[in-house]
């Protein structure tokens, strides 16, 4: 399997079989609060300072050593945690980013299912526009928010997961067997993770529950359970018409603009006036249950669904408008309908360097978010065929898909025990009912685990609430919310069969 080294097991002596106990909620909150204040916030402060960018954004990741550093730091912290029978190892497959794998045996007699705890340590790139006193690699704790890249997405996951287990063990509360998978390729599409899942499949056991802390929250007032995730196809679309730049005055009108050809290609894909994707194959029916969830969530969040976005001032100083001001439609647009974004460009000089030249080429990075039920592999093939077929003016048009195209995910129906545990924990630690929401992002592992363990349940949650701005400037981790989420995870683990 390529395991280079194993970490020591953490053993807590116990002369008798651990007795089942009810969770002491106050003691749980106190334990979690101390861990976050004394250990997790300092650990995440160090973590944020390391530019451990995902391989897609740091091709020399192995030589640079940033991923290795955050893996080592997290593993060293983890092996010191008072979790009964904890065993941890850093697993390495040749040429792939490393994975932290930990396991701890059940402390409940007769428990046969395994809980999988998932997170990742790799990060998105810097982006621009950070506040003057902030930066992607300069952590700052302010008003309960820990600013910097990666703390909320999703470096905190291993720390919160093991703290939840330690909190239960500290009270002698019985629990099932738990294993953890912490990867370092998620922001690149998790293409390195799938071989690890295959290699570790037997060690995962019979998976009954997957806990993923890499998702979002509609507000900071209650627990939010993610019920769906969109898929993702990304890649580079390039149009080339010349071997070199030529005078725009002398040849404009003879030579077709590469940008105009790019616009024609986009017209095959998108309605420019609405943003709706034109190919029917990129759409799917929305299940009735998801429509009901979106309606309920719209009632909770109201216009905050779109008002929380950092809109610029548009024409005459008025706010730029969203595609829709209907909260339910906005939620469905961002979770169950496809959307296209251009996230990068090449072949375009800066404004200061733009001469009167017809450019040889235009290239865009495309990010196509797919509804949860659309197969990503088919979408890649369909998108490539659509864009490259019969190019205008016989220009050279190429679409090069990125690695790691990911199919979306829709959660199975909640088991009664899990629905009860989630709502009870939300009321206990947030003072409000659990709410349900789809997410527009992608977590490739969820669909893999759903296919591999079709009977498993899923608790997909996260700390990425309003204005936390994952992937963008001024990203932050809402520490008070994260503390409550950690306690909630512990409660759900304790309630698992």
Domains, the chain, with CATH or none: 3-229+408-495 (3.40.630.10), 232-283+334-405 (3.30.70.360)
pLDDT 10s digits, 402-454 = 988 999 999 999 999 999 999 999 999 999 999 999 999 999 888 888 888 88
Beta carbons within 10 angstroms of residue 284's beta carbon: 18
pLDDT 10s digits, 94-105 = 999 999 999 999
pLDDT 10s digits, 289-317 = 999 999 999 999 999 999 999 999 998 88
pLDDT 10s digits, 67-94 = 999 999 999 999 999 999 999 999 999 9
Closest residue by Cα to residue 177 from 114, 262, 97, 117: 114
pLDDT for position 81: 98
Residue 10 has pLDDT above 70, yes or no: no
pLDDT 10s digits, 160-176 = 999 999 999 999 999 99
Any idea what DSSP says for residue 152? I
pLDDT for position 448: 83
Q: What values do phi and psi take at 7, rounded to 5? A: -85, 160
Residue 319 has pLDDT above 80, yes or no: yes
Query: d(Cα 387, Cα 265) in Å, to the nearest integer?
Result: 6
Query: d(Cα 404, Cα 314) in Å, to the nearest integer?
Result: 36
**414 backbone φψ class: left, alpha, beta (φ>0; ψ -120 to 50):** beta
Cα atoms in the Cβ-side hemisphere of radius 13 Å centred on 200: 26
Report residue 20's pLDDT band, with 50, 70 and 90 as the boundaries. Answer: low
The lowest-confidence range among 12-21, 77-86, 336-345 is 12-21
Residue 39 has pLDDT above 80, yes or no: yes
Query: d(Cα 368, Cα 371) in Å, to the nearest integer?
Result: 10
Residue 44 has pLDDT above 60, yes or no: yes
Q: What is the pTM of this model?
A: 0.91
């Amino acid at each position: 399997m390529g395991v280079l080294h194993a970490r020591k097991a953490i053993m807590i002596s116990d002369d008798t079989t651990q007795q089942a106990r009810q969770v002491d909620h106050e003691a749980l909150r106190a334990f979690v609060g101390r861990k976050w204040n004394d250990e997790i916030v300092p650990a995440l402060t160090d973590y944020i300072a390391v530019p451990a960018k995902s391989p897609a954004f740091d091709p020399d990741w192995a030589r640079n050593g940033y991923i290795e550093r955050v893996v080592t730091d997290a593993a060293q912290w983890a092996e010191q945690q008072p979790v009964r029978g904890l065993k941890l190892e850093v697993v390495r497959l040749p040429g792939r980013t490393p994975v932290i794998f930990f396991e701890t045996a059940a402390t409940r007699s007769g428990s046969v299912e395994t809980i999988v705890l998932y997170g990742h340590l790799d990060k998105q790139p810097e982006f621009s526009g950070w506040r003057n006193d902030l930066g992607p690699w300069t952590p700052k704790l302010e008003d309960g928010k820990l600013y910097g890249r990666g703390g909320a997405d999703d470096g905190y996951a291993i720390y919160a997961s093991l703290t939840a287990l330690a909190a239960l063990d500290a009270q002698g509360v019985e629990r099932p067997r738990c294993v953890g998978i912490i990867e370092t390729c998620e922001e690149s599409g998790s293409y390195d993770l799938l071989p690890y899942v295959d290699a570790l499949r037997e060690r995962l056991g019979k998976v009954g529950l997957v806990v993923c802390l890499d998702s979002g929250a509609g507000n900071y007032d209650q627990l939010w359970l993610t019920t769906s995730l969109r898929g993702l196809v990304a890649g580079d679309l390039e149009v080339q018409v010349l071997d070199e730049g030529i005078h725009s005055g002398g040849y404009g009108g003879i030579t077709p603009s590469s940008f105009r050809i790019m616009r024609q290609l986009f017209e095959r894909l998108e309605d420019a006036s609405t943003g709706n994707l034109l190919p029917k194959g990129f759409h799917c029916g929305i299940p009735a249950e998801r429509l009901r969830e979106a309606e309920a969530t719209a009632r909770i969040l109201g216009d905050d669904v779109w008002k929380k976005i950092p809109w610029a001032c548009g024409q005459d100083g008025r706010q730029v408008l969203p595609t829709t001001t209907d909260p339910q439609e906005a939620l469905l647009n961002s979770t169950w309908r496809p959307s296209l974004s251009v996230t990068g460009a090449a072949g375009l000089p800066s404004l200061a360097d733009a001469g009167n030249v017809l450019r040889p080429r235009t290239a865009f990075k495309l990010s196509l978010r797919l509804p949860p039920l659309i197969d990503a592999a088919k979408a890649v093939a369909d998108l490539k065929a659509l864009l490259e077929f019969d190019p205008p003016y016989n220009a050279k048009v190429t679409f090069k898909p990125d690695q790691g195209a990911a199919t979306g995910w829709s959660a199975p129906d909640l088991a009664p025990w899990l629905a009860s545990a989630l709502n009870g924990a939300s009321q206990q630690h947030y003072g409000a009912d659990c709410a349900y929401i789809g997410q527009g992002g992608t977590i490739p592992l969820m669909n893999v685990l759903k296919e591999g363990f079709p009977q498993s349940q899923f608790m997909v949650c996260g700390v990425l609430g309003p204005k936390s701005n994952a992937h963008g400037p001024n990203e932050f981790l809402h520490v008070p919310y994260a503390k409550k989420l950690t306690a909630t995870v512990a409660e759900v683990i304790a309630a698992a069969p």
